[in-house]
Chains A and B, each alone.
Chain A
Amino acid sequence: MIQEQFPALIVVTPLIMSFILFTVSWWNKRLCFPILLATLSACLVFAIGILDMVIKHGQPIHYHLGGWDPPWGIEYVIDHLNALVLVAVAVVAWLVALYAKSVVEKELHESKLPQFYTLFLLQVTGLFGITATGDMFNLYVLLEIASFSAYAIIAMGERGADFAAFRYVIFGTIGACAYLLGVGYLYILTGSLNMADLAQLIPKLFYNKALLVGFAFFLVGVGIKMGIFPLHTWLPDAYTLAPSAVSALLAPLFTKVGAYVIIRIMFTVFDPSFSIKLYPVMDILGWIAAIGIAFACIMALAQSDLKRMLCYLIVAEMGYIVIGIASANRLGLTGAILHIVNDMFMMACLFTVVGAIMYQTGTRNIYQFRYLHRTMPVTLGVFVVGALSVVGVPPMCGFFSKWYLILGTIEAKKWLLLFVLLASSLVNAILFFRVIENAYLEPRGEHAFAHDGGHPSISLDEVPWSMLISMLMIAAGIILLGIFSGVIIKHVIQFAVPASF
């Protein structure tokens, strides 16, 4: 049956279509966007089909590429954790693609559009592959596919983007090489590259020093790719200067898929007891996350560029996920996994709004947002939904993942992390109310205009429909994820947390 082929199809389809798209663009440029949207729709169907299969069978799907049996061949393994991430990636990528059309047509030169759509698809290919694969080396290759498309697509952005992209290349390569070194250490020790096989072999080697070195290389390598605090230096520049549609795609997805890889390596490939009982990995991660969140919040407060502020916010959000991991209990990890999904939607929401504001007004400076609530009421409404979710106001999804993270830190008795979580929520509130204040409230001394029914020169001036629909759907997603978070936890996430917790 075709449904059994979904794990391979979800990676192969966008890969092949990206080549077809580029070829077709020589003949007819207008077909690019429909092909992109159709491919992503197919991927969405595959992802939902996979999740459906996983929930029905209740156990991981194993797909052997080319019919070679696992430890020798490459195996795709999809359990509850990656099925959930796959669906989230597919949904967000689809919505951002819908949003991207108008934005890129305005921001990029017409001759660059086919390249943009091709790289968009390659990026999604890499992200799906990273999530679906069950082979350490295959993960490296797909990580590099995702990174390459990210380098190239970021360089299309505004002035300075090429330099930011070059720095990203250097850092990204260090990250990828560190990951590959980790793979090398594990291969020397065990002779295997298959995750499930490694999970069997590694507990026998627990006291081996080389294993510890390999583990450290993994953490550093993936840490650079996901932008954890001391390794985040490439992130703000690269994501700020990238084209709006690109940051709306990369910022939610790439860092979060990196967080998934960390969870996969720490809890599936290495036994959870390795980083909890044997070495104080969780304490170190907790400290790094705490310092990182504090740093990111301070840096975010210092920014007047909304997009750059959001970039620092990503660093803080990655810190939340690491806190959930560092709590090392069921509640904390549930929060971390839920936050991966929620944060994809929250960041997609905020970055699409920034792109929309850029599209209409040409500025991202917070202090120039005056009267924006009259010209772009829907866009700002979506922004408020995203902002409230990041702050953690109940009906939005951000509240629920934070709730679990907080419960996790309380159960682990890590009071510092609890304090950091609560304090940073407060800072988030300040950050966003600064924006909302500038956009919604009339400046003092200017309300003389109010008596004749508002400023005469200000009229409704919203972004195109495709962008509005996409942003509204993302906002609706945030609220729905919040309402149905109990369902997601009950049917998916509770099986994704390691059984030993």
Chain B
Amino acid sequence: MWELILSKYNYWIYALLLIIGFYAMMAKNNLLKKLIGMNIFQWALIFYFISIAAKKGGTVPIIPGVHGHHGAEHLVVHAADYINPLPHVLMLTAIVVGVATTGIALALLINIYRRYGTLEEDEVIEELKR
């Protein structure tokens, strides 16, 4: 049982963060807390992608010293020695997406606060009914 948790601890952390974020988005009444939950949700995903790329003892996928020399194609490269760079690249984009979402959501929150004078969801709904 413990082995199952410990050997794949990255997945457990990611799942836990995902659930925390989801809970905050659904259950919290304060809109800013919802936004924080949304951020946790997104970062859990980024963490997940990065962790699947990692390898024990792996290093950055740069092969030093062969640039410009002849015979570089004969160099033996073991894929197991290098971490997978693609998920990192994907997550760079996902981080940008996350920042943009947060930016839009914050702008909306400023607007909501100015108009209704509160960030509590039930109070905003109450205000809108009037």
Contacts and interface: CB of A to CB of B under 8 A. Distances in A.
A174 interface: yes
A259 B62 CA distance: 42
Given A180-B45, A187-B87, A162 B112 contact: yes
Interface string B33-59: 011001001100100110010000000
Interface residues of B, number: 32
Contact of A184 (B34, B48, B105): B48
B108 A162 contact: yes
A163 interface: yes
Contacts of B112: 162-163, 166
Interface residues of A, number: 24
B104 A174 contact: no
Contact of B41 (A162, A163, A173): A173
A169 B104 CA distance: 8
A481 to B, nearest CB: 35
A174 B105 contact: no
Interface in A174-191: 174, 176-177, 180-181, 184, 187-188
Nearest to B93: A141
A339 B11 CA distance: 41
B124 A163 contact: yes
A159 interface: yes
Given A180-B45, A180-B94, A187-B87, A162 B104 contact: no
A184 B108 contact: no
A148 interface: yes
A462 interface: no
Most chain B Cβ neighbours within 10 Å, of A169, A177, A184: A177
Given A173-B38, A177-B45, A155 B52 contact: no
A137 B45 CA distance: 14
Contacts of A163: 112, 116, 124-125, 128
Contacts of B101: 144, 148, 169, 173
Given A169-B108, A184-B49, 14 more contacts: A144-B97, A148-B100, A148-B101, A159-B115, A160-B128, A166-B105, A166-B109, A169-B101, A169-B104, A170-B35, A173-B38, A177-B45, A181-B48, A184-B45
Interface of B: 22, 25, 31, 34-35, 38, 41-42, 45, 48-49, 52, 86-87, 90, 93-94, 97, 100-101, 104-105, 107-109, 111-112, 115-116, 124-125, 128
5 contacts: A163-B116, A169-B38, A169-B108, A170-B105, A177-B45
